[in-house]
Amino acid sequence: MKNKLAFREYYKRRLPHIQIAGATYFITFRLANSLPVEALHELAEERQAINKLPENQKESAHRAWFAKYDDYLDKALHGNLYLKNEQVTDLISESILYRDGKAYDLITFCVMLNHVHLVCTPLEKLDGTYYGLTEILHSLKRHTAREANKILQRNGAFWQDESYDHVIRDETELERIVKYVLYNPVKAKLVKEQTDWKWSYCKFEI
């Protein structure tokens, strides 16, 4: 039986996920219960509508959809904001950095109040296969959830099971997404300058 965490070119849970060997991904994962049911229903309906659009309209519609999704998260109006705890946020940042060069080539990340943005390129294993996104996120989320719950002295789900991921197609899109990730704390009005946010990283000079 094939390992369900292993690399697969296509898999589907609540959202479809496409993986391309050697590709770079923009990934967003969030705390459990960080979006209200009404917002989830609205986003799901809009996602279904986008899937029915002509191919030449999907890209702009999808970007607008993600902007709305991330705006909901940036407002941080629903659920517990466990990532306000600096011990927890430090733990997550260190865990992301630890996997750089082991499971992926890390390009940038930013830990927000209730979600995390990550841009990385999964690495090739010794057997010629690639680390799968499911495998990477399972390891990262399981470790950080366990340790964060210890810090917070709580039990129960920490991360939402489903994550958002997007294949970055070219250098122009990569630059746009990296800037978006790094300036997300400014957009969310958490800091005035991007450099004032402690829980972000970029391997390149921006």
20 against 173, higher pLDDT: 173
Q: Which domain holds residue 198?
A: 12-33+80-202
Is the pLDDT at 27 greater than 60? The verdict is yes
Does some domain include residue 65?
Answer: no
Return the structure tokens found at 26: 């923009």
64 against 5, higher pLDDT: 64
For the chain, give the percent of residues with pLDDT over 70. Answer: 91
CATH code at 163?
A: 3.30.70.1290
The mean pLDDT of 18-41, rounded to a whole number, is: 92
pLDDT of residue 21: 77
The mean pLDDT of 72-101, rounded to a whole number, is: 97
The count of structural domains within the chain is 1
pLDDT of residue 5: 46
Does some domain include residue 63?
Answer: no
Q: pLDDT tens-digit profile of 124-174?
A: 999 999 999 999 999 999 999 999 999 999 999 999 998 999 999 999 999
Does some domain include residue 50?
Answer: no
Does some domain include residue 147?
Answer: yes
Does some domain include residue 60?
Answer: no
Residue 38 CA to residue 68 CA, distance in Å, equals 13
pLDDT of residue 205: 82
pLDDT of residue 20: 82
What is residue 3's DSSP assignment? Answer: -
Confidence class for position 22, pLDDT limits 50, 70, 90: confident
Residue 189 CA to residue 77 CA, distance in Å, equals 14
Confidence class for position 17, pLDDT limits 50, 70, 90: low
Residue 154 CA to residue 150 CA, distance in Å, equals 7
Does some domain include residue 62?
Answer: no
Does some domain include residue 1?
Answer: no
Does some domain include residue 55?
Answer: no
Give ∠ CA 48-51-52 in degrees, rounded to 5: 100
Residue 116 CA to residue 184 CA, distance in Å, equals 10
Closest residue by Cα to residue 31 from 189, 122, 154: 154
